[in-house]
Structure 1
């Protein structure tokens, strides 16, 4: 595994500067022949895409999605509307490869970005599929995104417990994806900027091998993002590495924004509905 490095970026804001540090890695794992995951970790957008589809269809789907979202970063236009346009372009990219893609081809897309183009800057998470965004705040790890999966629907309906869901045979079946036959509108959640926050964005190749407690453990043990990513990736591979594994860790230093323990659940904008999420805090 190549040595990882931590990147950094300073964001000047009226309430005080924000210092961001992050690291990212993706690995094929120990049972797959190819890596159908793709990752984008460039300020202000941090995204994981987990492709699916026969032959190289999944690779095309995830790579197209990350490339189109990367174009937003290049043009400084990261917003819900911009994201949805980019995903629409990715769908066209996927459909332009009929020889290698079919109706089963698609990708998850999950991530977080810092929105500074509004009066009150904030984080926005986005999600289609079953990759995840976690937030470690005030010592508590919370899954911010809600999986779009058959198993999650059964849990929400009270037909499965979270413990039963971990071993369910339909654990890999997702109900939404970026692909030729699916909507490209993600779910969004807005989060306040809080000093000391740590985000984890990951594909299910990590969560298949590490529990939430395990993720929290490695975040607590490793202050540097690159060290935290390396430790989680190594643990996922040691625990079986049954799927491609992709991880991003983003650390937030924002002394001017205090230590509020609540998650703001307001919309990112009028076109960005939020999911209900647990309050973060003790």
Structure 2
């Protein structure tokens, strides 16, 4: 199937292009296989078999829709047969290469000198370069291995008891050194090799010294069968064993030191995982951030393994296959079960390299708590109270909510305010009304109407506002309300003002604002939290530990506040961000509510009310039942 966007050939059953990730049309392109499809539908199954030629076509080139189960099974049988023949051919090649290496390894000249049978030293001296003549019987070499207690490489004894890693390192070093080669040559040769490990050079240097000593002592004997020669051979063997053990210990220490440090950025592990950075290091574990250079082997989004090398996008889900970060856990040899330690995500691969165990973890993507967007239910209610029933209600409330839904995703924007007026002589209600109207005008213009106007002009949804812009908008709106009240006080020679609390919601975040002793609460998980701080005398006493929280309800100076709108041109505003989750309830209220209704009762009403309007009514009813000494106002928002 040809991609209509980038013209890249794809498989016929691919849903997304492997090159550009665009969705591929599911219908069959006109003129490509429509005739074959019609013929396949119109003919019975037997007719299709008869029409097939002697040499079957490659079904992978035909559209998937016209493949019958018989042809698909035949295709897979042929593919499996080819794969089986290829595997057998590679196995034969490996066996032939292994047999050739075993024949080369059987040369006695490659074995340590101490394995030579008595009488072989003369032949070593006569052969140039210390090489044993090929006419030595194989039985003699076998007998030599039996006497020395070591099995010949490739023999049944050697295969039945494989040596440890240290033994393998020491043996290979001893076999690679020529019997008459000086120690300086071994050192220079180790320096010319790639720096695989510093231990290999040290092993060769010490093993060469021991081997040379053994050759000299063994060659100086005139009669190999004499007891003196045998004692010299045994002494040489013991010296070589001791030095070989020292070399093995040195190699183990160097290797352990080389692998103890963290991996550097840019290191490739397992041929596919590229180290980006070290995230955390513990006693037996290191955690790296890596990227999979062979992401096509497994799609991180849908887990598909049907992609091929070179695919940039998954053909099943369209996800980008390159650059996906993973977590790589590196465990020391003391921990054998990494899965018991990794619980944050899903383990997709484990492997061992360099004596360390590695586990590749795909972190669990954070689930969106609002898969269909945020839905808000809001209500407001205000009452003059029992004792001030014959006076004007100085509180004002504001509920502005714009909730649009596009592509089944709800996107709410709104402002919710409670303002408690102060000043008396009809000034209190004016102050709260001016503050609420000023904030509403600014929010409507810049938060609600601006995105609609921008979308009308560009025909595209506007980019979401940045957090700094939202915070600045809310703060400037409150500051503008304060400036407006200060201007009125200056013109009319009054001292009116108001406290203000509330919150602005955009998407799944709320921005809470507070000036004065009105409060904003939040209920999460059934528990009530006070999210604002009272800017009052009793509030300062409680914060300083000089007053118990329960004493604020009866303190004689509880009405003295030191921060309000209209008091001074530069007012300090508390403003902070609160993330929302489904089930949260937000409440903004005046002091006439929270002074009459204690926090446990507020919590109970909010948790049991079926909707915000009922919650507001029950809160005001409870405040009046408990005395109703002041104006009572509440704004309640349910988050769904």
Scaled by the length of structure 2, the TM-score of the pair is 0.35
**Alpha-carbon contact 2:597-2:622 (below 8 Å) kept:** yes
Aligned partners of 2:550, 2:416: CA distance in 1, in Å? Answer: 29
- 2:565 equivalent to 1:209: no
Tell me the residue number matched to 1:143. Answer: 530
Instruction: Spell out structure 1 runs of 4+ moving beyond 6 A.
Output: none
- Name the counterpart of 1:74: 444
The 1:210/1:100 distance shift into structure 2, 3 A limit, reads farther
Task: Name the one with the larger strand percent.
Answer: 1
CA distance in 2, matches of 1:206, 1:152: 16
Residues 165-217 of structure 1: per-residue CA shift (max 9 Å, x gap): 22111111111101142533421121112010001110011011100011011
Given that 1:52 and 1:106 are in contact with CA atoms closer than 8 Å, whether structure 2 keeps it comes out as yes
**Partner secondary structure for residue 108 of structure 1:** strand
Q: How does 1:168-207 map to 2 (within 5 A)?
A: 168-181=555-568, 183-207=570-594
Cα 1:101/1:52, change in 2 over 3 Å? farther
Q: Deviations along 1:2-37, whole A, 9 cap, x unmatched?
A: xxxxxxxxxxx9953111001100111122211111
**Using the alignment, how far apart are the partners of 2:614 and 2:625 within structure 1?**
16
Task: Extract unaligned runs of 5+ from structure 2.
Answer: 1-368, 402-413, 449-469
**CA distance in 2: counterparts of 1:126 and 1:92, whole angstroms:** 17
Residue 549 (structure 2) aligns with: 162
Deviation at 1:101, TM superposition (A): 5.8
Which protein has the bigger helix share?
A: 2
Q: Give the match for residue 53 of structure 1.
A: 423
Distance 1:243-1:99 versus aligned 2 partners, 3 A rule = farther
Deviations along 1:60-113, one digit per CA (max 9) or x if unpaired, are 21111100111123214383322333333323432325586633x211110011
8 Å Cα contact 1:55/1:100 also seen in 2: no
Q: 1:60 to 1:101 in 2, by over 3 A?
A: farther
Deviations 1:123-173 (A, max 9, x none): 111100111110000111000011111001011111111122221111111
Q: Which moved more, 1:88-97 or 1:34-43?
A: 88-97
In 2, are the aligned partners of 1:177 and 1:183 still within 8 Å (CA)? no
Matched, 1:242 2:629: yes
Match of 1:264 in 2: none
Structure 1 pair 92/126, CA: closer, same or farther in 2 (3 Å)? closer
Shift in Å, 1:246 = 0.4
Q: Measure, in 1, the Cα distance between the counterparts of 2:607 and 2:477.
A: 35
Tell whether 2:374 aligns with 1:18.
yes
SS of the equivalent of 2:375 reads: strand
Cα distance between partner residues in 2 of 1:182 and 1:76 = 23
Deviates more, 1:53-62 or 1:33-42: 53-62
Q: Could you tell me whether the CA contact under 8 Å between 2:370 and 2:582 is conserved in 1?
A: no
Partners of 1:54 and 1:183 lie apart in 2 by: 23
Q: Is the 8 A contact 1:150 1:175 kept in 2?
A: yes
Query: Structure 2 vs 1, CA of residues 53 and 99 (structure 1 numbering), >3 Å: closer, same or farther?
Result: farther
Segments of 5+ residues of structure 1 without an aligned counterpart are 1-12, 254-282
Q: 460, 481, 484: which one pairs with 1:93? A: 484
Structure 1 Cα separation of the partners of residues 516 and 585 of structure 2? 22
Choose which of 389, 393, 405 in structure 2 pairs with 1:35.
393
The secondary structure found in structure 1 opposite 2:633 is strand
Counterpart contact for 1:54–1:101, Cα < 8 Å: no
Higher deviation after alignment, 175-184 or 195-204: 175-184
Contact kept in structure 1, 2:474 and 2:504, CA below 8 Å: no
Q: Which moved more, 1:83-92 or 1:35-44?
A: 83-92
The separation in 2 between residues aligned to 1:84 and 1:173, in whole angstroms, is 24
Going from structure 1 to structure 2, the CA distance change for 1:64 and 1:86 (only over 3 Å counts) comes to same
Structure 1 pair 156–180 and aligned structure 2 pair: CA distance change class (3 A) = closer
Structure 2 residue 503 is the aligned partner of structure 1 residue 84: no
1:102 alignment counterpart: 494
| Alignment size in residue pairs | 236
1:240-275 per-residue CA deviation (whole Å, 9 max, x = no partner) reads: 11111000110001xxxxxxxxxxxxxxxxxxxxxx
Contact 1:65–1:86 under 8 Å retained in 2: no
What is the distance in 2 between the residues matched to 1:188 and 1:85? 11
- TM-fit CA distance, 1:219: 1.1
